[in-house]
Amino acid sequence: MNKKLNITINGNEYKFITDENVFSPNRIDKGTLAMLSKLELEHGNKVLDLGCGYGVVGVYCASIVGVENVFMSDIDANAVKLARKNMEINGFSTENIVQSNGFREIEWSYFDAILSNPPYHEDFSVPKGFIEKGFNRLKLGGKMYMVTKRKKWYKKKLISIFGGVIIWEINGYFVFMAIKKDMSYAQKKLKKTKKS
């Protein structure tokens, strides 16, 4: 059965339809709110909501950067259907929403920001793919934002790919932000090893 939510994010009000089969159907997830509180975007930035669920992050970003600059994906067909409905309810178009396992069906690149609240209760294979492939989809200066309840693995992984990470602890969640400066840190280390 569908539920209706009215949500205020950073002073803006949005409406959402959810159901019991999606993540955090009764209220906006506190981790997502924590990540959005640290997000820095400007109109015209190109954004990917990776693992969009019912569309909270994508809808919020569309109100800042313009809907034509927001791209959304989720592995779950029901989540994608709800994300499309929620974009429409909030006055946005839905052409940039796809069902995709990680980056498999995502053709877009050169993002200013990739945002994700990955499934961190399972093994690390999903966030590993998000981080490694996400690095390649960012433009230079692009930022990857992630939120989880775990710190150590994400910190190490983001540093190994990006060369650094900023971490905020908010309400029991860790918000990570890593910037793509040039080729990956891992690639640089490999080049140095080959030279010596």
Buried b or exposed e, range 32-48, using 16+ CB within 10 angstroms: bbbbbeebebeeebbbb
Q: Are strands 97-99 and 70-74 parallel, antiparallel or unpaired?
A: parallel
Residue by residue, pLDDT tens for the chain (196 residues) are 788 888 888 888 999 988 887 777 567 889 999 999 999 999 999 999 999 999 999 999 999 999 999 999 999 999 999 999 999 999 998 889 999 998 998 999 999 999 999 876 667 888 999 999 999 999 999 999 999 999 999 999 999 999 999 999 999 999 999 999 987 666 666 566 555 5
pLDDT of residue 50: 96
pLDDT of residue 52: 93
**Domains of the chain, CATH where assigned:** 30-195 (3.40.50.150)
pLDDT of residue 94: 83
Instruction: Report in angstroms the alpha-carbon separations of 191 from 143, 177, 186.
Output: 24, 25, 9
pLDDT of residue 121: 65
pLDDT of residue 124: 86
* Total residue length of the chain: 196
pLDDT of residue 194: 58
d(CA 76, CA 60): 20
pTM of the predicted protein model: 0.90
Supply 153's token pair: 């693995």
